[in-house]
Amino acid sequence: MKYQKAHKQLDERDKLRKFRELDDAFAQALKQLEEPGNHFDIPTGPPVRSLADLEEQERKSQAQERERLFGERLKALCKEYGYSAKAVKGLVELLVHHGRWDLETTPVVTLSGSDRPAG
């Protein structure tokens, strides 16, 4: 039992010594980094973006997705009803002229119960 106790104390001392060595090495590295003439090439990650930037990117992404869905749905309807792009353009111009459609916004595509794909 005495041998195990002595061995345990040596392990604790060894761990403490290693920790002090590591701490000293870390402190020395920090001092070297703070020196004005150091030439360390420390990689930094990509710039941190603000929450507002992330939210703006998300809004743009959602707007693009809405536009994509609207375009797909419009093409499908044109094909289904046999309308040409010229006829659809005329309809859109008419809606814009009468204030029923703002060109700056993409209509949100919602599928009614009968339009939803089976599955």
Model confidence band, residue 111 (pLDDT cutoffs 50, 70, 90): low
Residue-averaged pLDDT of the chain: 80
* HEC string for the chain: CHHHHHHHHHHHHHHHHHHHHHHHHHHHHHHHHHCCCCCCCCCCCCCCCCHHHHHHHHHHHHHHHHHHHHHHHHHHHHHHHCCCHHHHHHHHHHHHHCCCCCCCCCCCCCCCCCCCCCC
pTM over 0.75: no
Q: Is 99 left (phi over 0), alpha (psi -120 to 50) or beta?
A: left
Summarised one tens digit per residue, pLDDT across range 23-43 is 999 998 888 878 777 777 666
Token pair for 45: 């990650």
